[in-house]
């Protein structure tokens, strides 16, 4: 490139001298505008345009892969731990947090406290109860979150919690008080199972874990098998929708699945309420 000395100027910064040209557009660029490329240097504009032509990797749900996979799982763990600390610090089961947040069928139906279907999923009966659920969330949460993305993971976790509570509301003695993140955690088990099956991975360990938990759920007198079952069913349904939906209809199938689960849960809750107040 043969130019008069005064024309050797950066096209982005005309007041600066430039003697290197962009490998793509061949315009002169100053050191500040030089971006290292496979061969030579490129200007910022060409780098931006080139990035648009690169196919971005997608997660299994069809969304962009997050660089912060696992962050939502850690936030959920933090919320559960904080709720338990506040519960203990303010009187444990006599605290307002417990009294206003625990799920009890008669209270929900007669007083209309439907928020309990969600808040009960963030309360726990003991340190061991909390540790077991949080350890399971720590083990399976980041895996599922990485596979489906943080937004869908949040929606799936809350959906499993609500569906689990709906099963409790439908199938449990309405005088029974139920708390715990187990429904949501079993939802993670269900999603992980579907994702592993789709990836053709060995699921023997997970199936053994599920069998053990199923036995404990049925055998334990103070364990809500109803919440476990509801959460697991929701997790399997959501996991199947994400893992096996046709590539060109992923968004539609996932949206319909989430909407269907919430509608079914709401209808079941309304019918149960009418029965308890009838």
The helix (run of H) or strand (run of E) holding residue 21 is: strand 20-21
Query: What is residue 33's three-state secondary structure?
Result: helix
State how far the alpha carbon of 188 is from the alpha carbons of 113, 127, 214, 234, 256, in Å. Answer: 26, 21, 15, 9, 19
Q: Is residue 261 within 8 Å of residue 163, measured between CB atoms?
A: yes
Q: What is the DSSP letter of 178?
A: E
**Please, where are the H alpha helices in the chain?**
44-52, 71-89, 96-101, 105-111, 116-119, 127-148, 150-171, 182-198, 204-219, 225-244, 250-277
**Is 224 one of the annotated active-site residues of the chain?**
no
Q: For residue 104, what are the β-bridge partners?
A: 177
Q: What is the DSSP letter of 43?
A: -
Query: Rounded to an integer, what distance in angstroms lies between the CA atom of residue 1 and that of residue 19?
Result: 10
State how far the alpha carbon of 265 is from the alpha carbons of 51, 165, 274, in Å. Answer: 44, 9, 14
- The catalytic residue among 73, 182, 217, 224 is 182
Give the other-Cβ count within 10 Å of 161's Cβ. Answer: 29
**Is 228 one of the annotated active-site residues of the chain?**
yes
Active site residues: 182, 228
């Amino acid at each position: 490139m043969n130019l008069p000395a005064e024309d050797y100027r950066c096209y982005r910064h005309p007041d600066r001298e430039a003697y290197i040209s962009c490998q793509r557009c061949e315009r002169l660029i100053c050191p500040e505008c030089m971006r290292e490329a496979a061969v030579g240097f490129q200007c910022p504009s060409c780098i931006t345009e080139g990035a648009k032509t690169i196919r971005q990797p997608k997660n299994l749900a069809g969304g962009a892969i997050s660089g912060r996979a696992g962050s939502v799982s850690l936030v959920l763990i933090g919320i559960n731990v904080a709720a338990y600390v506040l519960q203990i610090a303010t009187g444990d089961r006599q605290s307002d947090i417990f009294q206003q947040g625990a799920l009890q069928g008669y209270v929900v139906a007669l007083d209309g406290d439907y928020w309990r279907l969600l808040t009960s999923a963030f309360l726990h009966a003991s340190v061991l109860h909390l540790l077991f659920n949080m350890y399971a969330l720590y083990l399976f949460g980041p895996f599922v979150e990485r596979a489906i993305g943080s937004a869908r993971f949040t929606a799936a976790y809350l959906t499993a919690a609500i569906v689990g509570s709906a099963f409790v509301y439908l199938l449990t003695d309405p005088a029974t008080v139920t708390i715990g993140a187990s429904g949501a955690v079993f939802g993670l088990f269900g999603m992980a199972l579907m994702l592993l099956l789709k990836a053709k991975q060995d699921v023997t360990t997970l199936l053994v874990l599920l069998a053990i938990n199923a036995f404990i759920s049925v055998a334990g007198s103070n364990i809500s098998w109803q919440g476990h079952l509801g959460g697991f069913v929701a997790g399997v349904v959501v996991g199947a929708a994400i893992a096996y939906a046709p590539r060109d209809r992923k968004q539609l199938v996932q949206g319909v699945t989430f909407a269907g689960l919430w509608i079914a849960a709401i209808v079941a809750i309304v019918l149960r309420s009418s029965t308890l107040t009838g």
